[in-house]
Structures are given as C-alpha cells and as structure tokens.
C-alpha cells in the first residue's frame, strides 16, 4: 500500500500539531523496533512487522509511534511550527 506523499504528510503533521494530536515537544527517548501493526500517529497506516517503528516514551497518555519517514516529517514540521509560532523547540 502506498503511503501518502510527503506534502500531504507535512500538512497532516501541521494540522495534528495545531490540535495537539501530536506532541509539541520532542520526547526525550525513542525506541526503534519492529512494527507492531498498530497505526502510525501521523499517517494512520499500520506499521507492519517488516518496517521499523519509532515509539516514544511520553509521560502519560497516548504513546506516539511513527514510521521512520513519518517521524522525520513530524520532527521537521514541528521545528518549523515552533519557529513560526515563536516557540523554542525543546
């Protein structure tokens, strides 16, 4: 299954950051491992066992998990969003 293209993912990431559906801070620790089959927090497609999954330990609530590519897009979008909103990327 084809993943959404990068432009679409960036728009999605922006929207999710605005509504706080994605964390506004970079969690301190990430675990990389085999996909769990659960949906990615950005593109909402399942992360299959043959793919890498990045999982963040955030204090409470939902644990964001991403495809490697989605994680890169999220981080890039987040730092641009922080700049645009005059927030310090943490």
Find the shortest distance in angstroms from Cβ 52 to Zn ion. 11
| 54: three-class secondary structure by DSSP | strand
Residue 13 touching Zn ion (CB under 5 A): no
| Residue range at the interface with Zn ion (CB under 5 A); choices 14-22, 43-51, 55-63, 81-89 | 43-51
Q: Is 43 in the site for Zn ion (CB under 5 A)?
A: yes
Q: At what angle do helices 68-84 and 6-18 cross, to 10 degrees?
A: 50
State the residue number with the nearest CB to Zn ion.
40
Q: CB under 8 Å to 70, separation ≥6 — which residues?
A: 9, 13, 40, 41, 42, 43
**Site membership for Zn ion, residue 67 (CB under 5 A):** yes
């Amino acid at each position: 299954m084809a993943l959404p293209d990068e432009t679409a993912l960036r728009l999605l990431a922006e929207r999710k950051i605005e509504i706080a559906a994605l964390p506004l801070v970079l969690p301190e620790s990430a675990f990389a491992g085999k996909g769990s089959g659960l949906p990615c927090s950005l593109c909402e497609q399942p992360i299959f066992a043959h793919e890498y999954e990045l999982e963040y330990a955030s204090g409470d609530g939902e644990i964001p998990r991403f495809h490697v590519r989605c994680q890169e897009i999220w981080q890039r979008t987040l730092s641009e969003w922080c700049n645009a909103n005059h927030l310090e990327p943490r």
